[in-house]
Structure 1
């Protein structure tokens, strides 16, 4: 016998180093998580909405715990019972023996770990339903009932979604527990079978039968709930339970629920008797019944009852859909007014619409944004948005429509952390121009501009720390010996008289410190050093409360981690009192403090009560309103101004503009106002977050004067109304009067793609007979037809009153009124596409446009506006010119107008209107009530617009020959292009006048 040396088994214990590494990793992960949460806590706390964060996180955490325990505990019990009740002397196959040998060493770990993993997944899924549970908990009856069951709508909006979520969760828990219990019993002999027999132990039988009983009872409950969910079913002719749903699907769901409950009882009996025959038969019956009642019977009713006479059979249910849809989308109070539009442009036709005509906006906010940038950007570190805001201000007792934008900061040229974070921290100023005027050179006429800002908007805080394009984060304020934030350059002035590179010096504000030392210049660095050295940069220190303070090393560390910048922690410029500003987009700030809102994509900034404030509309939405048509909200918002499409659909069939929000551009403070206090969703959310909503009575008159009807809500409503303006079920079914929004004729798209819909426009207009001019948003309709049946004629004109008034705490009575002007089918009023085609093909217009394009000058067609004035429809389109080289920005040079089949093309709007209406449109306010003319040309001497239009060039009856006129035109074009490239606007105006004179002589006057 030989001795054998047995090697000592290696210890599987982790070494101290491995344990240390694991602990360090865990601590790092934990600290990063804590840092992430703490930065959110500090952000909400500083803004005054910490309760929103706390409620949201506590609700989500509670739902996670419920989901975790609700899944992990039952699944653990199912595994544990199946193992503990396993047969002691089970006859196992060789294969099962091998399975047990593999599993046994890991059995305890699997028994605990598998339910825990399943619980984590279930907890995460449950946490996403925190809104559902909070809404239900704080709901209250609406006082309105559905058309099928007569149940209060609160059941569908709040209770049904919760019950469906609970039923789905419980089904998953019981089903997974059943599978795990059966699987464990099989592995340990509780269940065995072969070709000759099937064996199941008593314990396994009882466990399986009870779980099956519970599962079928839950399914019975789900089937019962499905009858109510049928009221938002989208498989029929329209959303809701149609004839087949009411007479086949709903009764079928009720019967199936009863069958499922009976089969559940049979399984419960089996757990006692051990007889499987009846529950097996019952299960088979349930499956067959599901096919017959859930598929076969509804199909038969649809084919043999509904389709042969669908219009008549579905009439009642289509009416339900129409009524519910119009109410859910806020269209039940639309005022419909026939509008028998005339087409003859008679002299004086606009006399009764002089106020509306005088406010026609000839400045296209999509086109002149580049003009704003050229004239008012002033420095390379400023920028303007691609689209300007359309707003209005009361000036000297008269409301003026304007186009405006804030001058935001641009960090694209800054490379150092110091500059990007501590120096270039904010934009500066509001720039606003009259919407209905231009200078002699075609530039906007500014009512507020320059640095320091000046004009007619009074004194206000011009600094913009919170804007749509603000830096990701900035560190501001603090106890610095000297200011280090660049406030504004002092070597620039208003850009309204010349491009930015020709601007003159301006006097800096006395309240700000002007940096003059080499040390200051060295600190600021980059492109600002020269400005600081020569005293041409004014510095400031943020004096508000806009972000959490970096008051200790802990806050510096967590923000250094958040933004992955160690400088936040190490920089000596971060001193006591320094604040860190982040999440600065107004949309993001409102969304975070009001997570239940759908935010309008078109925020706008206005000067309100001495501050620049962003005004944002918030919506409460639902997809659970009975019988209301379900739409994808994201697709409804797409038009020429918003061609971004979301990959994720947002189904809605109920929407309310429930909240108006403001964000202060200086300190970022967010204020939420409860706008629609009758909205049941808002009532519930106001209970969830008590104290976060202010009453409309707290809104100042100045703020209310800038509130407007929301863009996105109007887009949704116009698309729904394009079909649901028809209230007769028979006509609705035949789809004989369906409309659509016309394509934008001036939108730029890629080759081979259709133009997107024309966006709605804000204008001061009179919608309908005897209507007073008011600030409104409007859109038009054409027949919804394609191919040979397509007709580009107007069928409807929708306008929403956007004037909320100017009285403190009181919304104007007519605000939000929707008016639909319907045109007779016998009329053939051209739609925007047809009008644009007429503009492009008119011989006189095309000739002059071709002349204007000589030398490479670019002709830009502005937005094509439609106004119901003069008893007909007036179209107005500004035409801009842009040089092909040198300094390039659009200048308004011509205005196209159309009424019926008549077209005019002149230098000014009032001139074009007079030409269009036989020499006198009647729109001159001076003739009516001593006001301004529409589209007047402002003087170039910096004075306020006088209201007198530019004198029309005269046409000489004894002109030179056509040949001489063409030579004069060519010479004038050459001189004008040269003047534009050199920025000589006086010479440009003179050459332009010579061009017009020569053109009229060439065309025979």
Structure 2
């Protein structure tokens, strides 16, 4: 294969992706245009475009910085007599170094496009962060003292930033190791794997950045505790505040110390130190993040759950009332001194007949016990409606008798039964909402099979 083949293949591939993108663009454009929403379309389009361009550029710059470091500084620390690239030559491309440059250029552009495209999926988080405003009139949260607007507008964007930059560091680190291998700075010898001093320092810095960034993620995890579901209620409870939060702070500090040790390894240039640090962090994170909070919950909270959780439950109640505006509801006594008489009941008989005496949940169970009749029938729900019966409109409860084929016996699970015989439910049950028999049962208007 010659250069012409590679050029034609690349052009076809580029045209394919362009046409695929334009087809999606045209469909979205027409949909919004038909619904008089072009202004919304252009806001979404420009936001996604800007986010993709911005983060794609950031990825490419970070990638190229690492590549240039290897190109410029990699040779200074190389201690191998023979370079891996010097032994490669592909006539259709040219020299191995030219091949490497072409491959790196193609990879960095494609990966930058993909990483930018992945970031554009978080356009909503970006817009919310960009246009964030404080929750005026609302108190700060009782754990961190943050405005509620931070958790609605800013925290989702910070979580996206962490995930994106961590993915970027992992990808660039993998390519960094690969480039060092291609550059001859990492080789397998009879003694094992040998790294040049520069490659050790470079990889140590990349690992340090990942560990420090991972440590920062514990700050985001701490904010996420306000959405915790560890205990019996939603929100930060005793374990979240007194165990998880403490563990996250400790893990954050440990991550920074580990990152500093990896940076120190730039000067020591040891292969063992990064390995020891990374292997030590895994059990430490597990103990702090999982075991310690579980022990706190089991042996401190559970024996005295009400006493430990009361202040946090009160926080939950207060902020729930505040969020729904219930705290602004004013209770006003209704002073009705008029006594109800039998004449009043007779006068308003039609109204009283619409007053429901049956709650749908126990009524559903009653229907189930009295009227399912067959093991493959069931009542899914109970509805309330009004029908004209004997010339009078009355309120009723009713439920359709539906079929659950799974409850047929094993020997009855045949194709004929499943597709030709047991295909639908049978009838319904109806009862008055305002009547109860002497046995405490509903007064059934429609019942049994066939319905009567």
* TM-score (norm: length of structure 2): 0.68
1:229 and 2:219 equivalent?
no
Write the distance in 2 (CA, Å) between the matches of 1:334 and 1:26.
58
In structure 2, relative to structure 1, the CA distance for the partners of 1:134 and 1:34 (3 Å cut) is closer
Is the 8 Å Cα contact of residues 83 and 185 (structure 1) preserved in structure 2?
no
Q: Could you tell me which residue of structure 1 aligns to residue 132 of structure 2? A: 139
Q: Could you tell me which residue of structure 1 aligns to residue 379 of structure 2? A: 755
Pick the aligned partner of 1:257 from 238, 252, 256: 252
The two structures, once aligned, show a CA RMSD in angstroms of: 4.9
Write the distance in 1 (CA, Å) between the matches of 2:439 and 2:154.
55
Q: 1:206-225: CA deviations, max 9, x gaps? A: 32232223222211211122
Pick the aligned partner of 2:295 from 293, 300, 309: 300
Write the distance in 2 (CA, Å) between the matches of 1:20 and 1:117.
14
Write the distance in 1 (CA, Å) between the matches of 2:295 and 2:7.
73
Write the distance in 2 (CA, Å) between the matches of 1:319 and 1:861.
44
Unaligned runs of 5+ in 2: 333-340, 387-395, 402-425, 446-452
Note the C-alpha offset of 1:249: 1.0
Q: 1:278-300: CA deviations, max 9, x gaps? A: 66555455334323322232232
Pick the aligned partner of 1:119 from 112, 121, 125: 112
Q: Could you tell me which residue of structure 1 aligns to residue 168 of structure 2? A: 173
Structure ranking higher in strand proportion:
1
Is the 8 Å Cα contact of residues 744 and 833 (structure 1) preserved in structure 2?
no
Pick the aligned partner of 2:66 from 78, 86, 110: 78
Is the 8 Å Cα contact of residues 223 and 253 (structure 1) preserved in structure 2?
yes
Write the distance in 1 (CA, Å) between the matches of 2:14 and 2:167.
36
Is the 8 Å Cα contact of residues 744 and 757 (structure 1) preserved in structure 2?
no
Q: 1:158-203: CA deviations, max 9, x gaps? A: 1111111111111111121112101211232212354536543343
Partner of 1:148, secondary structure, is coil
Q: Could you tell me which residue of structure 2 aligns to residue 90 of structure 1? A: 80
Q: Could you tell me which residue of structure 2 aligns to residue 269 of structure 1? A: 264
Q: Could you tell me which residue of structure 1 aligns to residue 184 of structure 2? A: 189
* TM-score (norm: length of structure 1): 0.33
Is the 8 Å Cα contact of residues 90 and 190 (structure 1) preserved in structure 2?
yes
Q: Could you tell me which residue of structure 2 aligns to residue 215 of structure 1? A: 210
1:40 and 2:31 equivalent?
yes
Q: 1:820-845: CA deviations, max 9, x gaps? A: xxxxxxxxxxx9799x9xxxxxxxxx
Q: 1:219-270: CA deviations, max 9, x gaps? A: 1211122111112122333332322222111011011111111222222233
In structure 2, relative to structure 1, the CA distance for the partners of 1:760 and 1:122 (3 Å cut) is farther
Is the 8 Å Cα contact of residues 233 and 239 (structure 1) preserved in structure 2?
yes
In structure 2, relative to structure 1, the CA distance for the partners of 1:33 and 1:232 (3 Å cut) is closer
Is the 8 Å Cα contact of residues 744 and 758 (structure 1) preserved in structure 2?
no
Note the C-alpha offset of 1:204: 2.1
Pick the aligned partner of 1:69 from 40, 52, 57: 57
Partner of 1:13, secondary structure, is helix
Write the distance in 1 (CA, Å) between the matches of 2:192 and 2:11.
56
Which protein has greater RCO, CA pairs closer than 8 Å, 6+ apart? 1
In structure 2, relative to structure 1, the CA distance for the partners of 1:33 and 1:203 (3 Å cut) is same
Write the distance in 1 (CA, Å) between the matches of 2:385 and 2:324.
20
Comparing 313-322 and 209-218, the one that deviates more: 313-322
Q: Could you tell me which residue of structure 1 aligns to residue 4 of structure 2? A: 13
Unaligned runs of 5+ in 1: 1-9, 338-345, 362-721, 723-738, 763-830, 837-857, 867-873, 876-896, 907-1005
Write the distance in 2 (CA, Å) between the matches of 1:171 and 1:185.
21
Write the distance in 1 (CA, Å) between the matches of 2:320 and 2:166.
33
Write the distance in 1 (CA, Å) between the matches of 2:130 and 2:263.
34
1:159 and 2:154 equivalent?
yes
In structure 2, relative to structure 1, the CA distance for the partners of 1:70 and 1:865 (3 Å cut) is farther
Write the distance in 1 (CA, Å) between the matches of 2:385 and 2:202.
67
1:318 and 2:308 equivalent?
no
Q: 1:691-720: CA deviations, max 9, x gaps? A: xxxxxxxxxxxxxxxxxxxxxxxxxxxxxx
Q: 1:862-904: CA deviations, max 9, x gaps? A: 6x675xxxxxxx26xxxxxxxxxxxxxxxxxxxxx87995977
Structure ranking higher in helix proportion:
2
What count of residue pairs does the alignment treat as equivalent?
390
Write the distance in 2 (CA, Å) between the matches of 1:212 and 1:197.
21
In structure 2, relative to structure 1, the CA distance for the partners of 1:759 and 1:65 (3 Å cut) is farther
1:59 and 2:47 equivalent?
yes
Write the distance in 2 (CA, Å) between the matches of 1:228 and 1:17.
52
Partner of 2:139, secondary structure, is coil
Q: 1:529-563: CA deviations, max 9, x gaps? A: xxxxxxxxxxxxxxxxxxxxxxxxxxxxxxxxxxx
Q: Could you tell me which residue of structure 2 aligns to residue 784 of structure 1? A: none
Pick the aligned partner of 2:304 from 309, 315, 318: 309
Note the C-alpha offset of 1:54: 1.5
Alignment of 1:383-782 (within 5 A): 743=364, 752=376, 755-758=379-382
Alignment of 1:926-941 (within 5 A): none
Write the distance in 2 (CA, Å) between the matches of 1:269 and 1:20.
47
Note the C-alpha offset of 1:745: 7.6
Note the C-alpha offset of 1:325: 4.7
Q: 1:12-70: CA deviations, max 9, x gaps? A: 536999999989978865764564254235325xx2x4322211221122222233223
Q: Could you tell me which residue of structure 2 aligns to residue 242 of structure 1? A: 237
In structure 2, relative to structure 1, the CA distance for the partners of 1:901 and 1:292 (3 Å cut) is closer
Write the distance in 2 (CA, Å) between the matches of 1:266 and 1:127.
35
Q: 1:894-923: CA deviations, max 9, x gaps? A: xxx8799597789xxxxxxxxxxxxxxxxx
In structure 2, relative to structure 1, the CA distance for the partners of 1:354 and 1:742 (3 Å cut) is closer
Q: 1:712-770: CA deviations, max 9, x gaps? A: xxxxxxxxxx9xxxxxxxxxxxxxxxx968649889999647533445879xxxxxxxx
